[in-house]
Amino acid sequence: MRVSVESPLYTHRSEGSENIGDATELEPDVMVSYVLEEQRMSFDLELGEAFLLRTKDVAVDAPSRLGTFIRPGVAYAPSPTLPIFVTAMLPIKLEPSPALLELRLGAGVNIAKTSIGKWFVEADVDLPLVGGSTAPSAFSAQQLVLATGLLFHLPG
């Protein structure tokens, strides 16, 4: 199980770009994983709820809720001795409209081991694939996301 919070650091769209200084979003996430025997690969399912905390755009209400995301994916640790991992996910924005399917590619590092789990930091790139009529078209936008949290194994 993994509990984390993520925030976009930089967003590029055809209309322009934003960084964390222009708008601050936070998304708490919970992930459950099925870890294979060798503990180097996992099948993951993440659920997140995104919030806009602050923006320079006066036409946008902040704070506000941005939506619910579900992300099926996989994670792989290339070496049992190195604290690094890579991820690939297919984020689905469930609501509010428009629905959106994205591709998320990322890499992370396990920073420290605590008494209850591993603290990690992860960087991801989100790329839209397909969505509703007002959603960005495939690869017309990119978002760099930074996440941190705690990864722990439940007994059983």
The dihedral over CA atoms of 115, 87, 49, 127, expressed in degrees to the nearest 10, equals 160
Helix (H, G, I), strand (E, B) or coil at 13: strand
Per-residue pLDDT band for 146 (boundaries 50, 70, 90) equals very high
Q: State both tokens at 17.
A: 């770009």
Is 142 in contact with 12 (CB distance < 8 Å)? yes
- Spatial neighbors of 58 by CB under 8 A, at least 6 apart, are none
Residue 80: cis peptide before it, omega within 30 degrees of 0: no
Q: Rounded to 5 degrees, what are φ and ψ at 76? A: -140, 130
Report percent pLDDT > 90 for the chain: 62
Averaged over 115-134, what is the pLDDT?
89
Q: Is the pTM of this model over 0.85?
A: yes
- Domain spanning 2-151, CATH architecture: Beta Barrel (2.40)
What mean pLDDT is reported for the chain?
A: 91
Averaged over 108-128, what is the pLDDT?
92
Report the distance separating Cα 143 and Cα 25, nearest Å: 12
Every domain of the chain and the residues it spans: 2-151
